[in-house]
Chain A
Amino acid sequence: RKEVEQDPGPFNVPEGATVAFNCTYSNSASQSFFWYRQDCRKEPKLLMSVYSSGNEDGRFTAQLNRASQYISLLIRDSKLSDSATYLCVVILMDSSYKLIFGSGTRLLVRP
């Protein structure tokens, strides 16, 4: 089983739609969680951190469910510019502080 799993998609949605991605992780020692965004042929960039209480940044909402070991990202009112691959990232807070990337979920927002 992969340490971090995501639905690869692609999710093909119209502008203005609401779309949600899930990510599951297998290591209960995972302590910190993030969503990164990667545009085609570009480097990944941090989108938002994910906190236990859930957090929101404009149209984006992230949630963490430690009991079920999954995190989610909700995008409301999708824009064309949201088209990208969304990578779930988990940090194991052992001595390595290793970041583990999920395989990514591709989002296509169409006009």
Chain B
Amino acid sequence: DTEVTQTPKHLVMGMTNKKSLKCEQHMGHRAMYWYKQKAKKPPELMFVYSYEKLSINESVPSRFSPECPNSSLLNLHLHALQPEDSALYLCASSQAGTGNTGELFFGEGSRLTVL
């Protein structure tokens, strides 16, 4: 079982809805990530938080809004999404900074469908 927990596992939402994806880890990792993965494609980095501060935003549209309330939690707030945003959203964590060994621990993902 993964040590990174994501909820919900599945989400269907309309283009006018507001929803959130949640991610939690208790491994003491201080770097947390959101990736988006479409079918038969590799994960694409969206955001990185390092020590609870946003360190990387890969030019993600503002309809995706990340939040890191504390060192164990990472949220992704969704608003006014488009059907092409349907994908698997993966949360991951790792050691931060010079402690980063390259091993990301991924959650099982939240599969999002936008109607």
Contact = CB atoms under 8 A, between A and B. Distances in A.
A87 B109 contact: no
A32 B100 CA distance: 10
Contacts of B100: 91, 97
Interface stretch (A11-19, A42-50, A60-68, A76-84): A42-50
A contacts with B: majority SS: strand
Contacts of A49: 101-103
Main secondary structure of the interface of B (DSSP, over half): loop
Interface residues of A, number: 21
Interface residues of B, number: 22
B52 interface: no
A39 to B, nearest CB: 11
B103 A46 contact: yes
Given A43-B2, A43-B109, A96-B56, A103 B41 contact: yes
A33 B2 CA distance: 22
B43 A101 contact: yes
A71 interface: no
A107 B43 CA distance: 18
Given A43-B106, A99-B102, A104-B41, 16 more contacts: A33-B102, A34-B103, A43-B90, A44-B104, A46-B104, A49-B101, A49-B103, A89-B102, A91-B100, A91-B102, A96-B56, A97-B31, A97-B96, A97-B100, A98-B48, A102-B42
